[in-house]
A and B are shown apart, each in its own frame.
Chain A
Amino acid sequence: MTKRILVLGGDGFIGKHMVSALAASGWAMPVAAGRRARAAAPGTERIQLDATDAAALKRALDGVDGVVDCIAGGAMVDVARNLFSSGIDVPVVHLSSMAVYGSAVGLVTEDAPLKADTGPYAQAKAEAEKLAAAYPRAVILRPGCVYGPGSTQWSLRIARLLRARRIGDLGAGGDGCSNLVHVSDVAAAALAGLRLPAAQGRAYNLAMDGAPSWNDYFLDFARALGAVPIVRLSEKRMTLESKLVAAPLKILEILAGKAGLARLIPPPIPPSLVRTWRHEIRLSPARAEAELGIVWRDLAAGLAETAAWINSVAA
C-alpha cells in the first residue's frame, strides 16, 4: 500500500525534489502542498495550502501517513508550531539547517549545543527545531549547503559569481568547509527518515563526507562550468564587495524582483556569506551514513549535472 506523504513547502527547491523522490520511490504518494494553485505533477497529488493557517493545515493532515516539512523563510516557526500541536501521530521529517550550530567550529556532531548565535535566521531555525524536538515522532535533518539542479543559493548564485570572476580562489577567505550536500541526498535522507522508526526522535547532519573547502568547491565547480582559470581575490576586495557593494545590489535586486527582472542584477555578496566562506565548521556525516544508510552523491558527478542545469537555465 502506498503511503500518503504530505510535503509542506512543496514548491520550494528542496520540496520539489522531495516530491519527485517520493513519487519515484514507489513506496509513497506525495501530496505537494503550496500556497499557489498549480497542477499536480504526474504521479503526485497537489493541494493549495497556507500552512500558517492552523485549521487549514489540520484539514490537510487528515489521512496522511507522514509529513515532510520543507518550509523555509519567515513562516517556518509558525508552521512548525501549527504542525506539532495539531495532534497528529505520524512520522514527520523536519528540515532544519546547520545554522542551528551557529558559530561552532571544528568537527560538529549532532550532540553539539544549538548555539544559533549567528543571527535571526539561525534563531528561527533553532526555535522551529525545538518545537520539532518536543514531538516524539519527528526526524530532524540538519543539511549543510544544499547544491544541485534548482539550487539558487549554492549553485546558481555561485555559478554567476564564478563566471563574473567575483569569487574564485579566496585564500584564507575560502578556507572554510563547504559542507555541501546534494539535494538528492537530502531527499534520500528524508525518505529513510519516514521509513525507519528508529530515526524518530533523532537529528541528523547532512553534509557529504570529505566535503571540500569553499576554495576547492569554487575551483571544481568553475571547471565544470568552464569558467577557468579562476582568479585569486584579495581579502580587501571581498570586504569591499560585502561592505560597500552588497547593500546597493540587494536594493536593486528587490526592486528588479518586483518587476520580475531579478535575474538581470548581479548577485550581492553580503557580509554573512563572506563569513560563511571562512567558517571552519565541519558537520560529521557519520550518523546519517550509519543510521539512514546515506551514500553521498559523488561531487564530480553532482557538479557536472548541476553545470548542465545551469547552462539550460541560462539558455
Chain B
Amino acid sequence: MILDVQDLPDGFSLDADICIVGAGPVGISLALTLATGGRRVLLLEGGGPAPEPDSQALYRGQVDAAGLHPSPDHYRERRYGGSSTIWGGRSMPYDSIDFETRPYVPHSGWPIDLAALSPFYGEAVRLCEAGRDAFTIETAFDTPRRPMIEGFDGEHFTTNTLERFSCPTDFGHRYRHKLEAAEGLQVVLHANVTDIRRSETGSEVTGLTVRSLAGRQGQVSAGRVILALGGLETARLLLASRIGERLDAVGRYYMCHIAGTIGSLKFTGPRDSVWNGYDVADDGSYCRRRFALRPEVQRRLGIGNFVARLHHPRIPDPRHRNGILSALYLARPIIPYEYGKRLYGDEAGGLGRWLAHAVNVATDLPATLGFLIHMLRDRRLAERKYPSIVIRSKSNSFSLDFHAEQVPDPDSRVVLTDEVDALGMPRLKADWRYGRADVETVSRSLALLAGDIERSGTGRFDYDPASVESEMTRYGAYGGHHIGTARMGSDPASSVVDADCRVHGIDNLYVAGSAVFPTSSQANPTLTAVAMALRLADHLKGSQP
C-alpha cells in the first residue's frame, strides 16, 4: 500500500517490524525483499511522487571553499524513486581487489570479500534491469564479438570487461505495482525523518520523528530501522541525531570518483578495426567494453583502480569539425544541468564559437541528421535508452574518458552547518578532498595505457602529463556518487557499521547504500549498493527477533 503522510492524523504513530527510510533504488529493493513472510514493513519517503521544489530545497547545503563539489541539491533527487529518477544506469560490480586490504591504499580493506556479495549481484542486476550478471564479453555473449581494438593486447590493461546499462530504470515507477501489492508493506510519502531517538544507554533506537513540509508530525517505532537515504543524507541524519559523535567517523572518508576526459587517441587501422559502440545483449540491454587496469598491475605499482573509455573529442571546441558534436553544442540549452556539466564544462560560449559550430553542422549535414534521428528513435522515444553519445570516428580519433578510484581520506568529509532547513534540520556542508594518491592513480594509469597502445602497434595516445590534475578536477568531484560516509569496518574508531551493515553499538540500526562502502572502486556504485542491500535483507530475514 502507498499512502501520503497527509492521510494520517497529526500526531500519528506507526509501528512495524522493520522501518526503511528512503525510497530510492536501495530502499525500494530492501522493501521488495523484506515485505514477505508476514513481516510488517514500513518504507518512509520524504519526497512525493513528482519533483517538488520545496522537498528538493531540503537538500540544499554548502560546499568547500574550492567549490570542487557540486551544490548538495544537485546530483540527487528528494522524491519517491530517489536519484534513480535521473540516473544514467551504468552498472558493473565491484572488483575482487576493491575488497582487499591494500597496504598502498590507506584505510582500505572491507570486512567482507567479493564472494560474500556475489550471490546477490544476479538479483541486483535484475532489479536494475541491466540484463544479467555477466560482465565480460565472453560470458555475456554466446557468439564471439568483434574486438574493441583489433590487435590490442595490453600488458597493463584488459578490454574484455563490460559495463552494462539499466533502462535506466526509475525504481519508483518500475516497482510501484509491487510496492502497492506487497502484503504487510506500507509506503508513506512526504514522510521526512528528522530525528532518530534512542534509549537512555543509546544502544537501541526507540523511535523516529517524522515530519512533512505541510505540517504533519508523527512517530514511528520499529524493531529494526534501516537508513537508505543516499550517501550524503544518511550521514546528515546520523550526525543530526548525534549518532557516532564520540568516535567521529560519521561523514568522514567521503569519496566520489575521480573522472575526466583527456588527450587524443588515434588508431592506425581501418575504421572497422576499432569498436567503440555498444553490443546489445539478447535481453536488449546495452553493453560496452572499456580499458580496465589489471589488478596485478595495481598491486605491483601501488595505485588505485582505474578504467577508461573511448570518448568523442571535447564538444565545445569546434575544431573537431564534427557536425554531430556541434549539434550537441547548440542543443546546450535543453540538456539537463547534471548531464550538461561534463559535456560542456563551464567554458563561456560566445557568438564566434556558436557560429563555428553552426558551420560544422551545415557542412556535415547528413551525418548530423542521421544522428538526430538515431537519438530520437533510440533514446528519446525508446523505453530502453541508448546510453550515451557514441561517434564512430571516420579517422579513428578519440579522446579518453577515465573513471578512477578515489582513496579514502578521513579529512574528506561532510559536516553539519549552523543553517537549518524548513524542517529544522541542520544543513550539510560537503568538504570533499582529493589527494596525491588520486593524481598518481590517474597519471600512472594514463602512462601505462599510452605504453600499451604504443607497444601493440595499434595507434597512439597523446596527452599532456602536466594537465592530468587539472583535467581530473575540471568538473570537480564526480556528481551523484556519494561513498564512504558511514563506512563498514570492524573497528568503531574508523568505521560506522559492522560487516552486517549494523551501526556499531546500536542493536537495531542499519545502513544501506554506498555510504557503507569503505573504498570506492572504479565502478559506479548503484549496482553494488543494491546487491549490498539484498545481502542485508537476507541477513535480517535469517535473524528474526
Spell out A's residues near B (CB within 8 Å): 105-106, 168-169, 171-172, 175, 219, 222-223, 228-234, 237, 278, 280
Check B174 for interface membership: any CB of A closer than 8 A.
Answer: yes
Spell out B's residues near A (CB within 8 Å): 129, 167, 174-178, 181, 183, 280-284, 382-384
Q: Which residues of B contact A105 (CB under 8 A)?
A: 181
Q: Which residues of A contact B176 (CB under 8 A)?
A: 172
Give Cα A231 to B383, complex, Å. Answer: 9
> Is the beta-carbon distance between A169 and B283 smaller than 8 angstroms?
yes
Q: Which residues of A contact B284 (CB under 8 A)?
A: 168-169, 229-232
Q: A168-B284, A172-B176 given as contacts; is B181 within 8 A of A232 (CB)?
A: no
Looking at the assembled complex, report how far the CB atom of B383 sits from the nearest CB atom of chain A, in whole angstroms. 4
Q: Which residue of A lies closest to B279 (CB)?
A: A229
Q: Which residues of A contact B183 (CB under 8 A)?
A: 106
> Is the beta-carbon distance between B282 and A229 smaller than 8 angstroms?
yes
Give Cα A223 to B283, complex, Å. Answer: 9
Q: Which residues of A contact B383 (CB under 8 A)?
A: 171, 232-234, 237
> Is the beta-carbon distance between A229 and B280 smaller than 8 angstroms?
yes
> Is the beta-carbon distance between B177 and A222 smaller than 8 angstroms?
no
Give Cα A87 to B218, complex, Å. Answer: 68
Contact of A232 among B175, B177, B282, B382 (CB under 8 A): B382
Q: Which residue of A lies closest to B381 (CB)?
A: A234
Contact of A175 among B178, B280, B282, B382 (CB under 8 A): B178
> Is the beta-carbon distance between A223 and B282 smaller than 8 angstroms?
yes
Give Cα A280 to B183, complex, Å. Answer: 13
Q: Which residues of B contact A228 (CB under 8 A)?
A: 282-283
A-B contact sample (6 more), CB < 8 A, given A105-B181, A229-B281, A232-B382: A169-B384, A223-B282, A228-B282, A229-B284, A230-B284, A232-B167
Looking at the assembled complex, report how far the CB atom of A217 sits from the nearest CB atom of chain B, in whole angstroms. 13
Give Cα A54 to B329, complex, Å. Answer: 79
> Is the beta-carbon distance between B282 and A278 smaller than 8 angstroms?
no
Looking at the assembled complex, report how far the CB atom of A161 sits from the nearest CB atom of chain B, in whole angstroms. 15
Give Cα A230 to B383, complex, Å. Answer: 12
Q: A169-B384, A171-B383 given as contacts; is B282 within 8 A of A230 (CB)?
A: yes
Chosen A-B contacts, 18 in total, with CB atoms closer than 8 Å, are A169-B283, A171-B383, A172-B174, A172-B175, A172-B177, A219-B282, A219-B283, A228-B282, A229-B280, A229-B283, A229-B284, A231-B284, A232-B167, A232-B284, A234-B383, A237-B383, A278-B177, A280-B181
Looking at the assembled complex, report how far the CB atom of A284 sits from the nearest CB atom of chain B, in whole angstroms. 16
Q: Which residues of B contact A278 (CB under 8 A)?
A: 177
Give Cα A105 to B177, complex, Å. Answer: 13
- Which 3 residue pairs across A and B have the least CB separation, nearest first? A232-B384, A228-B282, A232-B383
Q: Which residues of A contact B174 (CB under 8 A)?
A: 171-172
> Is the beta-carbon distance between B167 and A175 smaller than 8 angstroms?
no
Q: Which residue of B lies closest to A235 (CB)?
A: B383
Looking at the assembled complex, report how far the CB atom of B535 sits from the nearest CB atom of chain A, in whole angstroms. 23
Which of B129, B283, B382 lies at the interface centre, i.e. has the most chain A CB atoms within 10 A of its CB?
Answer: B283
Give Cα A232 to B280, complex, Å. Answer: 12
Looking at the assembled complex, report how far the CB atom of B187 sits from the nearest CB atom of chain A, in whole angstroms. 16
Give Cα A237 to B384, complex, Å. Answer: 13
Give Cα A228 to B141, complex, Å. Answer: 12
Q: Which residues of B contact A219 (CB under 8 A)?
A: 282-283
Q: Which residues of B contact A237 (CB under 8 A)?
A: 383
> Is the beta-carbon distance between A222 and B282 smaller than 8 angstroms?
yes
Looking at the assembled complex, report how far the CB atom of A300 sits from the nearest CB atom of chain B, in whole angstroms. 14
Looking at the assembled complex, report how far the CB atom of B76 sits from the nearest CB atom of chain A, in whole angstroms. 24
Looking at the assembled complex, report how far the CB atom of B280 sits from the nearest CB atom of chain A, in whole angstroms. 5
Give Cα A31 to B174, complex, Å. Answer: 51
Q: Which residue of A lies closest to B285 (CB)?
A: A229
Q: Which residues of B contact A280 (CB under 8 A)?
A: 181
Q: Which residues of B contact A172 (CB under 8 A)?
A: 174-178
Q: Which residues of B contact A232 (CB under 8 A)?
A: 167, 284, 382-384
Give Cα A232 to B174, complex, Å. Answer: 13
Looking at the assembled complex, report how far the CB atom of B50 sits from the nearest CB atom of chain A, in whole angstroms. 18
Give Cα A314 to B167, complex, Å. Answer: 33
Q: Which residue of B lies closest to A228 (CB)?
A: B282
Looking at the assembled complex, report how far the CB atom of B28 sits from the nearest CB atom of chain A, in whole angstroms. 13
Contact of A231 among B129, B177, B178, B384 (CB under 8 A): B384
Give Cα A278 to B181, complex, Å. Answer: 12
Q: Which residues of B contact A169 (CB under 8 A)?
A: 283-284, 384
Looking at the assembled complex, report how far the CB atom of B296 sits from the nearest CB atom of chain A, in whole angstroms. 35
Q: Which residue of B lies closest to A215 (CB)?
A: B283
Looking at the assembled complex, report how far the CB atom of B259 sits from the nearest CB atom of chain A, in whole angstroms. 28
Give Cα A175 to B283, complex, Å. Answer: 15
Q: Which residue of B lies closest to A106 (CB)?
A: B183
Give Cα A103 to B282, complex, Å. Answer: 32
Give Cα A61 to B506, complex, Å. Answer: 74
Q: Which residues of B contact A223 (CB under 8 A)?
A: 282
Give Cα A219 to B181, complex, Å. Answer: 25
Give Cα A280 to B176, complex, Å. Answer: 14
Looking at the assembled complex, report how far the CB atom of B283 sits from the nearest CB atom of chain A, in whole angstroms. 6
Give Cα A171 to B283, complex, Å. Answer: 12
Give Cα A234 to B167, complex, Å. Answer: 11
Give Cα A233 to B284, complex, Å. Answer: 11
Q: Which residues of A contact B384 (CB under 8 A)?
A: 169, 231-232
Looking at the assembled complex, report how far the CB atom of B14 sits from the nearest CB atom of chain A, in whole angstroms. 24
> Is the beta-carbon distance between B181 and A230 smaller than 8 angstroms?
no
Give Cα A171 to B183, complex, Å. Answer: 21
Give Cα A231 to B183, complex, Å. Answer: 31
> Is the beta-carbon distance between B177 and A175 smaller than 8 angstroms?
yes
Give Cα A234 to B383, complex, Å. Answer: 6
Q: Which residues of B contact A175 (CB under 8 A)?
A: 177-178
Q: Which residues of A contact B280 (CB under 8 A)?
A: 229
Q: Which residue of B lies closest to A169 (CB)?
A: B284
Give Cα A203 to B473, complex, Å. Answer: 69
Looking at the assembled complex, report how far the CB atom of B385 sits from the nearest CB atom of chain A, in whole angstroms. 9
Looking at the assembled complex, report how far the CB atom of A215 sits from the nearest CB atom of chain B, in whole angstroms. 9
Give Cα A61 to B283, complex, Å. Answer: 51
Q: Which residue of A lies closest to B283 (CB)?
A: A219
Looking at the assembled complex, report how far the CB atom of A194 sits from the nearest CB atom of chain B, in whole angstroms. 38
Give Cα A172 to B118, complex, Å. Answer: 26
Looking at the assembled complex, report how far the CB atom of A33 sits from the nearest CB atom of chain B, in whole angstroms. 43
Give Cα A167 to B383, complex, Å. Answer: 13
Looking at the assembled complex, report how far the CB atom of B127 sits from the nearest CB atom of chain A, in whole angstroms. 12
Give Cα A219 to B129, complex, Å. Answer: 13
Give Cα A231 to B95, complex, Å. Answer: 30
> Is the beta-carbon distance between B178 and A230 smaller than 8 angstroms?
no
Give Cα A233 to B384, complex, Å. Answer: 8
Looking at the assembled complex, report how far the CB atom of B364 sits from the nearest CB atom of chain A, in whole angstroms. 30
Q: Which residue of B lies closest to A236 (CB)?
A: B383
Looking at the assembled complex, report how far the CB atom of A225 sits from the nearest CB atom of chain B, in whole angstroms. 11
Q: Which residues of B contact A230 (CB under 8 A)?
A: 282-284
Give Cα A200 to B491, complex, Å. Answer: 65
Give Cα A106 to B281, complex, Å. Answer: 31
Q: Which residues of A contact B177 (CB under 8 A)?
A: 172, 175, 278
Looking at the assembled complex, report how far the CB atom of B130 sits from the nearest CB atom of chain A, in whole angstroms. 12
Give Cα A105 to B129, complex, Å. Answer: 24
Give Cα A168 to B284, complex, Å. Answer: 9
Give Cα A237 to B383, complex, Å. Answer: 10
Looking at the assembled complex, report how far the CB atom of A249 sits from the nearest CB atom of chain B, in whole angstroms. 22
Give Cα A280 to B129, complex, Å. Answer: 19
Q: Which residues of A contact B129 (CB under 8 A)?
A: 171
